[in-house]
């Protein structure tokens, strides 16, 4: 069955460092991959979309890579700040479907 | 622009009771989704709609029904609530204009079934 894995353990990093979060998937060939941010008690907020034919996407301090051979996406936050502390979700969608499958998310804590 | 709103924010039900969760969006989006989020399970799709008058089943549709009579509204019904339906429910919408993939989420409804 289709499976998306994100590190369930929280990631703690020091302010100013680069945070790297991982999204691995199996039994799936996504055409689109998204990353969302979710704060406690709130709905997810869209951050970035990357397509299967794109290797890398950037937006300000955020960078996403997509390796369809490794079946993995990496999400980077450079110069991290305490305000970046949140749970980050990855979501995948195949072509020909409207449905996204979400990972369980990784909680990031940036220490001042 | 209110974006996506959900009503109610919190509800307690007894087993066997019924209720309807309302989702409204003011962005003229075609696609609307209902998810549930449980600890350790991530977001799971219950039902979705690709346009007014259409609905389709998602990953976990049993025990739920939906209706999309108006483009801006997507209703999720629980016919006979069970404790297993205790969860946080999120509605989302997305449009047809690029970036068409972006889903805009509501603030969520916390449901406790006793």
Residue of A nearest to B57 (CA): A99
The whole-angstrom separation of Cα A20 and Cα A61 is 12
Q: Domain spans of chain B? A: 4-113
For the record, the structure tokens of A54 come out as 């794109």
Query: Do A43 and B92 make contact, defined as CB atoms within 8 angstroms?
Result: yes
> CB–CB of A93 and B44 under 8 A?
no
* pLDDT tops 70 at residue B100: no
B90: closest chain A residue by CA: A43
**Is CATH 3.40.50.1100 the classification given to domain B4-113?**
no
Report pLDDT for B7.
97
Per the CB < 8 A criterion, the answer to whether A102 and A3 are in contact is no
Neighbours of B60 (CB within 10 A): 18
- Integer Cα distance of B22 and B77 in angstroms: 9
β-bridge mates for residue B31, sequence order: B94
CB contact under 8 A, B43 and A44: yes
- Torsion B84-B90-B91-B95 (CA) sign: negative
The pair of three-digit structure tokens given for residue A86, joined into one six-digit string: 């949140």
- Indicate the number of domains in chain A: 1
- What CATH number does residue A34 fall under? 2.60.40.10
pLDDT band for position B66 (50/70/90)? Answer: very high
Work out the minimum CA distance from A64 to partner chain B, whole angstroms. 16
Burial readout A66-80 (b: 16 or more C-beta within 10 A, e: otherwise):
beeeebebbbbbeeb
| Cα A53 to Cα A33: distance, rounded to the nearest angstrom | 11
Structural tokens at position A3:
């499976």
CB spacing of A105 vs B4 below 8 angstroms: no
What does the pLDDT read at residue A98?
Answer: 78
Domain of residue A47 covers 3-111
Rounded mean pLDDT, B71-75: 97
pLDDT tens sequence across A29-83? 888 999 999 999 999 999 999 999 998 999 999 999 999 999 999 999 999 999 9
């Amino acid at each position: 069955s289709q499976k998306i894995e994100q590190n369930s353990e929280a990631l703690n990093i020091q302010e100013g460092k680069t945070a790297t979060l991982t999204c691995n998937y199996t039994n799936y060939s996504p055409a689109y991959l998204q990353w969302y941010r979710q704060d406690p008690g709130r709905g997810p907020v869209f951050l970035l979309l990357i397509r299967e034919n794109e290797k890398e996407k950037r937006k300000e301090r955020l960078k996403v890579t997509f390796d369809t051979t490794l079946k993995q996406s990496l999400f980077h936050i450079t110069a991290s700040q305490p305000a970046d502390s949140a749970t980050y979700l990855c979501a995948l969608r195949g072509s020909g479907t409207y449905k996204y499958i979400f990972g369980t998310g990784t909680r990031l804590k940036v220490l001042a | 622009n209110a974006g996506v709103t959900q009503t109610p924010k919190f509800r307690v039900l007894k087993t066997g009771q019924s209720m309807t969760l309302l989702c409204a969006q003011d962005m003229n989006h075609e696609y609307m989704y209902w998810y549930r989020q449980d600890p350790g399970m991530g977001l799971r799709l219950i039902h979705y709609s690709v346009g007014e008058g259409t609905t389709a089943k998602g990953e976990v549709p049993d025990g739920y029904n939906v209706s999309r009579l108006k483009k801006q509204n997507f209703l999720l019904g629980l016919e006979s609530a069970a404790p297993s339906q205790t969860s946080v429910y999120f509605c989302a919408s997305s449009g047809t204009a690029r970036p068409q993939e972006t889903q805009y989420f509501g603030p969520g409804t916390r449901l406790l079934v006793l």
